[in-house]
Structure 1
Amino acid sequence: MSDKDNKGSMTVAEAGRKGGETVRNERGREFYETIGRKGGATVKAERGRSFYEEIGRKGGETVKAERGAKFYEEIGKKGGDRVKATRGPNFYEEIGRKGGQKVKKLIEEGKRAARAAMAAQEGAAGGAQPQEGASQAPAPSGEPAGPNQNE
């Protein structure tokens, strides 16, 4: 027996499409956004971040195999042109400057942390080391110690 033997009956696909249209018309786009967010949160909780990384990688490989590397070049250019048109030509200069400042700050913080760690390690290894330029020999009695004491 076929799906449409009875007059007025519809296929499962037709019923699903009709039901989907009814829900869309009654509840609107926000409904689908809400259930999508809830579903995404549930999947994330059940499968973790690595699941999304894996399906993203697989999807990227599939698209690359089907469309070629040139596809990514084209959509990247389109996206860049769109951002430039939307935000103006100075946008890239501004974010480049901000990025450069952030990198500089991170490098400085890293250097400070490395110096502090080295100082702590030296302090733990055998006491404080004399500062650069300080005399290592004790001053003769009655005379103040100075930076050029041994000269």
Structure 2
Amino acid sequence: MAEREKGAMTVREAGHKGGEKTKERYGEEFYEEIGRKGGKIGGETTKERYGGSFYEDIGHRGGQKVKELIERGKTLRGEK
């Protein structure tokens, strides 16, 4: 791994530092508030827009992808 220049930071470190500064300035409630879109919590807007079955569909697709990756890994390891 290459050495970093003195004073350099990763993108992750910079993001964390910025988040901490924002929390100091506006408080934790600020993050709670921006987490709500139009006064709604979490996926309520998405559910209204696409319907409840949307989450079932993307969950199924995700499960199928995981299943496919597991099978591919077993094949590569010679387990099948």
Q: TM-score range by the shorter chain?
A: 0.5 to 0.7
Equivalenced residues, count: 67
Q: TM (normalized to structure 1)?
A: 0.34
CA distance in 1, matches of 2:47, 2:61: 22
Larger relative contact order (CA 8 Å, sep ≥ 6): 2
Instruction: Report what 1:58 is aligned to.
Output: 17
CA distance in 1, matches of 2:16, 2:22: 10
User: 1:121-136 to 2 correspondence within 5 Å?
Assistant: none
Q: 1:92 to 1:106 in 2, by over 3 A?
A: same
Q: TM (normalized to structure 2)?
A: 0.55
CA distance in 1, matches of 2:15, 2:33: 19
Q: 1:114 to 1:74 in 2, by over 3 A?
A: same
Instruction: Report what 1:105 is aligned to.
Output: 64
Secondary structure of the 1:78 match is coil
1:115-148 CA distance string (max 9 Å, x none): 202326x9xxxxxxxxxxxxxxxxxxxxxxxxxx
Unaligned runs of 5+ in 1: 1-49, 123-151
Identity of aligned residues (%): 28
CA distance in 2, matches of 1:105, 1:77: 31
CA distance in 1, matches of 2:47, 2:58: 18
- Backbone CA RMSD of aligned residues: 3.1
Unaligned runs of 5+ in 2: 1-9
